Amino acid sequence: MARLRAEIQQVARSQAAVLINGESGTGKELVARAVHQQSDRAGQSFLAVNCAGIPPDLMESEFFGHEPGAFTGARQARKGLFAEASGGTLLLDEIGEMPLALQAKLLRVLQEGSIKPVGADHEESVDVRILAATHVNLMKAVEQGEFREDLYYRLETLTLSVPPLRERGEDVELLAMHFLKEACRRHNRGFIKLSDVSLRVIGDYPFPGNVRELSSAIERAVTFCEGDTIQPEHLPERIRKRQSGASQVVSTPGGTNLSEWPTLDTLQQDYVRRVMAAVDGNKRRAAQILGVNRRTLYRWLDAEAGQGNA
């Protein structure tokens, strides 16, 4: 995160487009706002739009505006997001969801600095810095023909990567304390602390939903905690189950008879089975929880299947 903050400061000095990569819930919009606030456009507007939340047939009008009578229901002229953000910054969140036809027009904005409202016969100049965010692999989308290659290379000149929460070590505890303070303020609660056991449970959980999931978990805990200390039972069940499952896996049922203790392979197989059952067979989610890539998970599952057939 220290490296990311330094990169944000460097990128903020540029006027070029920026691509922000990161899993859902990692705080990509916060990074975009930090870039804007540290740039020379800080005094101008910052607009954020989720490309996945706009119907495809309305996207062009939403981004570029329209003239009266441009289509049914267009009774008066309307400025688009690019014109509204002119002089400032526009964040295109989930840019991988943008239709190919609109991607071509976005590329023209980046190259020429002008837009053409729907129904207009003239172009308008705009001065807007484009930040784009995505949780998908855009290079893979390019290979599959779902994203324009020329737009990708125009965006990825400056790239910021936001790490998932599971890779941020002690940040989990620091963020939990921050969200706890904020939640207490919103709920008009006095001082509430996290028990040592709760902190350990939170630290052991991989948070596939990242910072957003942690914030939600703390909000729930404050709501259900009637005393002054948050215990594990106040946390969401999925977090408690993770801790419970891990405890069961590492227990040694053989007592003092070492010959009855399970092997490391057996413990691993048992744990993988529990995780797969908990996520209903979703291999991508299971790999995230286990902290391995999917290829490694497939190899483990194949090995287990081979032992079963034997």
The 8-class DSSP code of residue 254 comes to T
Asked if residue 172 and residue 98 are part of one domain, the reply reads no
Which helix (H) or strand (E) element contains residue 285? Answer: helix 283-290
CA–CA separation, 159 and 136 (whole Å): 14
Asked if residue 195 and residue 150 are part of one domain, the reply reads no
- Asked if 114 and 80 touch (Cβ cutoff 8 Å), the reply is no
On the question of pLDDT at 263 being above 50, the answer is yes
Buried b (16+ CB within 10 A) or exposed e, 132-153: bbbbbebeebbeeeebbeebbe
* 229-230 and 114-115 strand pairing: unpaired
Asked if residue 94 and residue 43 are part of one domain, the reply reads yes
Domain carrying residue 292: 254-310
Which helix (H) or strand (E) element contains residue 20? Answer: strand 18-21
On the question of pLDDT at 13 being above 70, the answer is yes
Asked if residue 97 and residue 42 are part of one domain, the reply reads yes
- Asked if 214 and 179 touch (Cβ cutoff 8 Å), the reply is yes
Tens digit of each residue's pLDDT (9 = 90 or more) over 215-257: 999 999 999 999 899 999 999 988 887 655 455 444 445 555 6
**10 Å Cβ neighbour count for 235?**
22
Tens digit of each residue's pLDDT (9 = 90 or more) over 23-32: 999 999 999 9
Among 142, 163, 184, which residue terminates a domain?
163
**10 Å Cβ neighbour count for 249?**
18
- CATH number of the domain where residue 100 is located: 3.40.50.300
CA–CA separation, 302 and 238 (whole Å): 27
Asked if residue 44 and residue 129 are part of one domain, the reply reads yes
Cα separations in angstroms, 191 against 65, 194, 222, 232: 49, 10, 11, 18
- Tokens linked to 243: 């801790």
On the question of pLDDT at 163 being above 90, the answer is yes
Name the burial class of residue 185, with classes exposed (0-12), middle (13-18) and buried (19+) by CB atoms within 10 angstroms of its CB: exposed
Asked if residue 88 and residue 200 are part of one domain, the reply reads no
On the question of pLDDT at 160 being above 80, the answer is yes
Average per-residue pLDDT for the chain: 86
Q: Span 182-203, mean pLDDT?
A: 91
Q: How many domains does the chain have?
A: 3
Identify which has the larger pLDDT, 160 or 83: 160
CA–CA separation, 50 and 97 (whole Å): 9
Q: What is the band of 277 on the pLDDT scale with cuts at 50, 70, 90?
A: confident
Asked if residue 190 and residue 153 are part of one domain, the reply reads no
Asked if residue 215 and residue 294 are part of one domain, the reply reads no
Cα-based torsion angle of the residue sequence 51, 56, 62, 63 in order, rounded to the nearest 10 degrees: 60
CA–CA separation, 171 and 161 (whole Å): 17
Q: What is the band of 295 on the pLDDT scale with cuts at 50, 70, 90?
A: confident
- CATH number of the domain where residue 236 is located: 1.10.8.60
On the question of pLDDT at 305 being above 60, the answer is yes
CA–CA separation, 123 and 116 (whole Å): 5
CA–CA separation, 118 and 9 (whole Å): 37
Which of 118-132, 162-176, 276-290 comes out lowest in average pLDDT? 276-290
- Asked if 133 and 91 touch (Cβ cutoff 8 Å), the reply is yes
Instruction: Give me the helix-helix angle, 210-224 and 171-186, nearest 10°.
Output: 50
Of residues 109, 57, 100, the one with CA closest to residue 81: 109
- What's the full length of the chain, in residues? 310
Asked if residue 195 and residue 184 are part of one domain, the reply reads yes
Asked if residue 84 and residue 8 are part of one domain, the reply reads yes
Among 251, 271, 297, which residue terminates a domain?
251
Asked if residue 71 and residue 59 are part of one domain, the reply reads yes
pLDDT > 90 fraction of the chain, expressed in percent and rounded: 50
